[in-house]
Amino acid sequence: MGGNNVHALQGIDLDVHEGEFMAIQGPSGSGKSTAMNLVGCLDVPSRGEIYLAGQNISTLHESDLAQIRGRKIGFIFQKFNLIETLTALENVTLPMTFQGIPEDKRTRRAEMLLRQFGLGDRMDHKPNQLSGGQQQRVAIARALAVNPPVILADEPTGNLDSKTGKEVMKFLRELNEKEGKTIVLVTHDDLLAREADRIEFLKDGVIVQSMHVHRRK
């Protein structure tokens, strides 16, 4: 930046196990977003290696990273990132379109997911016709469209009220426990992080503490 190198991450060594619910917690500027971008194949590291299901993704070209993202990773963002000109149904079918799934199959799966999240009567609504909680549920449905094994959630309750935020976290917990999804939650919020089974605390680009969470069943 302006001739200066900014070391967003500095020698992180981290394992995320299949079927785990893990949180990366840290203050603003700690490197959380960079960590998520690297884990999510949105960026490549300047040094080091990253393995996803045994494959080194550190040196792949963008087109190859895009293919891996499309098949293996579902993203849930704080700002939802829905396409405003598309309906809820169209937003959810879009990832399946990129994977070449036939139209009838992708429509059936999108409808099933939206009904699962209580949006059966909102399929033809565009994002500006939905509440924040409804938009986030559409975003979760979209993240699950191609049934990826990994879900990355970046401050997924940041734009929601506390009640709706708890519902979103309940969805994530169920995806982990009932469907075996690997969940990586990125947050600055202590209470949110404690919904995970393990917390990695990030500060100034370094993991400063790891903690296993004993939650009440």
CA angle 65–66–68, rounded 5-degree value: 65
Task: Judge contact between 56 and 49, C-beta under 8 A.
Answer: yes
Distance CA 30, CA 76 (A): 20
Would residue 14 count as lying in a domain?
A: no
Specify if 110 maps to a domain. no
Task: State the pLDDT at residue 215.
Answer: 63
Global pTM value: 0.89
**What confidence score (pLDDT) does residue 63 get?**
87
pLDDT class of 4 with cuts at 50, 70, 90: confident
**Is position 79 within any domain?**
yes
CATH number, residue 27: 3.40.50.300
Q: Which residues contact 136 (CB under 8 A, 6 or more apart)?
A: 76, 80, 156, 157, 159, 160, 164, 168
Return the H-helix or E-strand segment holding 98.
helix 88-98
Q: Which helix (H) or strand (E) holds 22?
A: strand 21-25
**pLDDT(217) > 80:** no
Residue 154 lies in a domain: yes
- Report the DSSP beta bridge partners of residue 206: 203
Is residue 216 scored above 60 in pLDDT?
no
> Would 34 be classed as within a structural domain?
yes
- Structural domain of 59: 21-83+147-212
Digit-coded pLDDT (tens) for 107-145: 999 999 999 999 999 999 999 999 999 999 999 999 999
Q: Considering the domain boundaries, does residue 52 fall inside one?
A: yes
Query: Number of structural domains, the chain?
Result: 1
Look up residue 130 and give its two tokens.
Answer: 């939905």
Give pLDDT tens digits for 78-104: 889 999 999 999 999 999 998 999 999
Percent of the residues in the chain that have a pLDDT greater than 70, as a whole number: 98
Query: Considering the domain boundaries, does residue 191 fall inside one?
Result: yes
